[in-house]
Structure 1
C-alpha cells in the first residue's frame, strides 16, 4: 500500500531580527507592561519584514525556491501546489497559481489556496495527503504555509503586535509505494471564542462599501485564555495515538503550535511526552502562525533530533477555535 512521505522541507524568514526590548519600550510608552505576557508566551526575538518589497507571497516563494533547489526538483515535477495562509497577499487569482507561475509549474498541476487560520498548513498537509492517497496520479505535492500578520496588528494590541514573527515554510510530499509517511489525523472544534479574533473586523462586504482608514486595517481581538484548548487537544491526541496503537514513547519529535510555550509544556505533560521531545523555536522566531509547526519540524530535522523512520506528532490550533493533530512517519 502506498504512503505519502515527506521528501524534504525548507523555510524562509527576513534577516531583520527584533528583540523584546523594542516591544517593551513601545508598550511602556503606552502605560502597558507586557513583560509578563512575553515571558508567558516564551518570546525573546522574532524575524520581521522591514521593507515594502516582502509579504506573505514573497516569503512563500523564497521558501519554495529554497526547497526546490535543495531537492534538485523543478516546478515541472510538482503535481499539486497547496498554499495555506490567513493573510494571503491576493484573494484572486490564487496565491498557489502565482507560485505556479514563479516556479514554472506544469500545465497539469493542481493549484489550491486554503485557510484554517493558524492551523492552516497542518490542515493542508493532512488534506493533501489524503487526496494523494485517493488519487495515484498526484505523485508530488508542494505545500506552503506563509503569514504576514504585522500590517494587520494594532500597535495598541500586545498579543498581535508583539507576539508574531514573519516566516514561511515549504514541504514536498511524495507518493511512495514502500513508505508509511502520513499515518492519521484528528480534528476537534469548539466555537466558544469564534468572535474573539475577527479580520476584517466588519467583514469584506462592508470593507468594500466603506473602505478603511490608512493604518487601520487591523484584527479585532478580544483577549481570552488561550489555554482553553489544552484539555481538548490532549484528549484528541491521546485518541489519535491510541487508535493507531502508537505509544507516547514512540514519538521522537512533537511539532506543536508555537503560540505559547506554556501550552506546549501542558499538552506534552498531559500526553506523556518529555520536554526534550517537544520542539520549541518560538523564542527565536516568535509566533509565525500557520507555518510554526513546520518550522519546528525543520529544526528537528536540521538538529538531528529525528531520523528517517521516526514518528513525528503535530498539533496546532486555529482561531475560533479548532484543534488539528496528526502523526507522520518521517
Structure 2
C-alpha cells in the first residue's frame, strides 16, 4: 500500500466503517468503468484506491491504522509524511476532470478484478454479467415470444348413471302388477291416488287395499332418502323359470323408513315412483336364499330415472 492515508485516498472520513468503505470503492469503480482507456495518472489512482480498499477491509490492518491515526491526532500530527493534503486534492481534481475528456488515451483499462483479497471488484463484475445476460434474454424473448399454454383445469363431467337391469322388461308379464289406468295421470306434478283409486295414507305403510301375497321369514328395511314421498312395489321371482309377481305395495313419506315383514326366499327387485314430479327408480336385483331368515336394507338412493309410465 502507498504511504498516504487510505481514508483520504478514498475521500471518506477517518474511522469510517467497512460499509462506507465498500460504498465509496464501488462509486469510484463505477465512474471509471465508463472509460474504455485510462492514462497513467488514472491507472495510478485506481491502484491507490484498490490498495486503500484492501487495507480498510482487512480487520487487522484497519485496526492498526485507526490506532495510529488516534495517536497522531493526539500529537497533532497528520498520518501522511510525504504528500500534503493540497497536493492530494489537486490530483483528485485533475483526475476527475480527465474522466470526461479522455476516452482514447494510451492504455486499455486493466482493473485486477480477480484479486484474491478484494471481493468487491469480483462482485461488480458478476453483477454486470448478470445484467448483460438479463438484457440479452429479454431481447430474445421479445423477438421470439414463447406461446403460453392454458393450464386451467376443466372440471370433469359427472358420469351418467348406468341403467339397471329390470326383473321383467314387460310390465304386463308381472302377476298382480296393478298399473295406473290413465298413463296421463303420471304427468301430473303431484300424485294423490294409488292405481286402485285409494288416497295415499299419511304414514309409511303397506297398502292393504292392494294384493299382499307370500309368506316367509325375512324382513326388508326400505329407507326413502328422497325429498318426495314414494309409492313402491316389491316384485319377486321364485325361480328362474317362474313368472314374477308383486308381493307388496307400499307408501313411504320423504326421509322415512318402512319395514316389510314375512318376505319369502327368491330373486327380488323393488320399484318405486316419486309422487312429486313422478319418476321411477329400481333397486339392483337381490336374492333371499331358500329358508333364510334375513334382514335386508334397501336405501332408495338409486340414480337412473325411468319414465313413470314405463313401470307404473
For the aligned pair, the TM-score class normalised by the smaller chain equals under 0.3
TM-score using structure 2 length:
0.19
TM-score using structure 1 length:
0.18
Name which one, 1 or 2, has greater alpha-carbon Rg.
Answer: 2
Structure with higher RCO (Cα < 8 A, 6+ apart): 1
Higher strand share: 1
